[in-house]
Amino acid sequence: MTLYIGREASKLWKRFCSETTTEINLLLDNWKYLLAGLIFQYIHGLAARGVHYLHRPGPTLQDLGFYILPEIGKDKAYISETVFTFVFLSFVLWTFHPFIFKSKKIYTVLVWCRVLAFLVASQALRIITFYSTQLPGPNYHCREGSKLARLPKPHSALEVFLINFPRGVIYGCGDLIFSSHMIFTLVFVLTYQKYGTKSCIKHFAWLVAIVQSLLIVASRKHYTVDVVVAWYTVSLVVFFIDKKLAELPDRSSGNLPMLLPLSTKDKDDKSKEENHKLLNGNSVDPADWRLRTQVNGKIQEDANGIHDNAMNGA
Give alpha helix (H) positions in 96-221: 108-132, 157-161, 167-170, 180-195, 199-218
Question: Which 3 state secondary structure label does DSSP give 313?
Answer: helix
**DSSP string covering 200-254, please?**
HHHHHHHHHHHHHHHHHHHTTSS-HHHHHHHHHHHHHHHHHHHHHSPPPPPGGG-
Helices and strands in the chain: count of H runs, count of E runs: 11, 0
d(CA 7, CA 277): 56
- Out of 44, 222, 266, 269, pick the active-site residue: 222
Q: Quote helix, strand, coil % in the chain, to nearest 5.
A: 70, 0, 30
CA–CA dist 34, 92 (Å, integer)? 15
> Annotated catalytic, 181?
yes
> Active site includes 250?
no
Catalytic residue among 52, 55, 175, 226: 226
d(CA 44, CA 123): 7
Q: Which of 44, 52, 55, 181 is catalytic?
A: 181
Residue positions counted in the chain: 314
Cβ proximity of 205 and 185 under 8 Å: no
Contacts of 257 (CB under 8 A, 6+ apart): 26, 107, 110, 249
To the nearest 10°, report the CA torsion of 183, 185, 191, 192. -170
So which residues are the catalytic ones? 181, 222, 226
